[in-house]
Amino acid sequence: MEANVKMLKSGLTEPRALARKSGVILMLVSALVFSTAGLFTKGVTADAWAVIFWRGLFAALFTFFYIQWNDKIRHEFLCMGKPGWAIAFLGAAGTAAFIPAFKLTSIANVSLIYAIAPFVSACVAWMWFRERPTLPVMVASLVALLGVLLIVSGSLGNINLGGDFLALWMTLMMSLVMVIYRRYPQTPAAGPAVMASLFLLPFGFYYGDPLSSPIIEIVIMAAFGLIFALASVTLQEGARRLPPAEAALISAAETPLAPIWAWMLFSEVPPIFTIAGGAVVLLAVFGSQVINLKR
C-alpha cells in the first residue's frame, strides 16, 4: 500500500518537474533571442514605426504558418478568451515602446531596465492572486537588482530619459503578460502573439514610412520578425509553466547578453560596471535555477 502511494506521488510530481524544466529552457531561449532585438533595430536606418510595421507583418506571418503547421488555428484563435485578448493588447503596447526605446537610448539601458521584471511580476502576482515567490527567487531578485545598480552606475554615455521610460513601460507590459499566463495557463500562446503584431500594423503604416525602406533593410526586418515570433512563442509557453517572478527572473538573462552583442557588432564598449553588473545578473539567474533543482 505504501509503495503504491509513493508511486502515485511520484507520478504526480514528475509531470510538474518536467513542465518546470521545459519552462526554464523555453524562457532561456526567449531571453537569448530577445537579446538580439537591439541589433536589428539599430542595424537599420528605418524609423521606429517602419521597423514595427515590417517586424509585425513578418512575425504575424511566421507565427501563423507555425500555427497552421501544428493544425491549431481553431485552438489558438477561437480559444483565446478574455485573457488571450488582454495578452494581445499588452503585447502590442509593450512592442510599441520596445522598438522606439532602442532608437532613443542605448541597448544596454533598455536591457538593464528590463531586469526589474521579476520585481514587477512578483508584486502583481502577489496582489492579484496571493502567489508568494520562493525564497531563492526573492534572494536572486535582490541580487539581480544589485547587478542592475552596478550597470546603471556605469551606463553608456548620456541616458535618454524618453527611451528609458519607454523601456520601463515595455517591462511593465511584459510582466503583466507573464502574470496573466500564470493565472490562466490554458490561454493559447501563438494566437495572441499574432494578434499583437496585427494590432500595430495600421499604426506602423500611418506613423512610419515602411514602403520607402530599402529592400536589404526589409530583409533584415523580416529576419527580425522571424526571431521575434520565436521569442514571443517561447516566452509565453515558458511563462505558463513557471511562477511569474521566476519566469521574469530567467528572462532577465537578456540583460547582460544584449550589451555583449552590441559590443561585438557595433563596437559599443560597455564600462566595467556594466560588465560586472551583467555578471551579477547572470549569477542570480543561473544560481536560482541550481538551488531550485537541488530542492
Question: What secondary structure letter does DSSP report for 131?
Answer: -
pLDDT band at 92 (very low <50, low <70, confident <90, very high): very high
Distance CA 97, CA 108 (A): 16
Q: What pLDDT, in 10s, does the model give residues 45-88?
A: 889 999 999 999 999 998 898 888 888 888 889 889 999 999 99
Cell numbers placing 163:
527611451
Say yes or no to pLDDT of 4 above 70: no
Instruction: Say which residue, 155 or 142, is predicted with more confidence.
Output: 142
Report phi then psi at 270, rounded to 5: -75, 145
| pLDDT given for residue 34 in this prediction | 81
pLDDT at position 90: 95
Instruction: Give the number of residues written for the chain.
Output: 295
- What is the Cα–Cα distance from 226 to 242, expressed in whole angstroms? 25
> Can you give the pLDDT at residue 156?
54
d(CA 155, CA 252): 17
pTM higher than 0.85, yes or no?
no
Q: What's the CA gap between 195 and 185, in Å, rounded?
A: 18
CB 181 within 8 A of CB 119: no
Return the higher-pLDDT residue of 286 and 199.
Answer: 199
Which residues 6+ apart lie within 8 Å of 18 measured at CB?
Answer: none
Q: At residue 139, does pLDDT exceed 90? A: no
> Domain limits of the chain?
31-294
* Chain centre distance of CA 73: 24
Q: What span, in angstroms and rounded, lies between the C-alpha atoms of 72 and 169?
A: 32
C-alpha cell at 77: 484563435
Q: Of the given ranges (94-98, 152-156, 173-177, 257-261), which has the lowest mean pLDDT?
A: 152-156
Alpha carbon of residue 191 to chain centroid:
17
3-state secondary structure of 275: helix
Provide mean pLDDT across the span 21-44: 86
| Confidence class for position 222, pLDDT limits 50, 70, 90 | very high
Task: Please give the average per-residue pLDDT across 237-254, as a whole number.
Answer: 76
Task: Count Cβ neighbours within 10 Å for each residue of 181-217 and write b for 16 or more, e otherwise.
Answer: bbbeeebbbbbbbbbbbbbbbeebbeebebeebeeeb
Do residues 108 and 155 touch, judged by C-beta distance below 8 A? yes
The cell for 255 is: 540583460
pLDDT band at 200 (very low <50, low <70, confident <90, very high): very high
Q: Check residue 86 and give its pLDDT.
A: 96
Lowest-pLDDT range of 45-59, 112-126, 170-184: 112-126
CA 161 to chain centre: 22
Of the pLDDT bands very low, low, confident and very high (cuts 50, 70, 90), residue 7 is very low
Q: What is the pLDDT of residue 116?
A: 74
Residue with cell 530577445: 34
Higher per-residue pLDDT: 150 or 124:
124
Closest CA to 116 of 154, 142, 81: 142
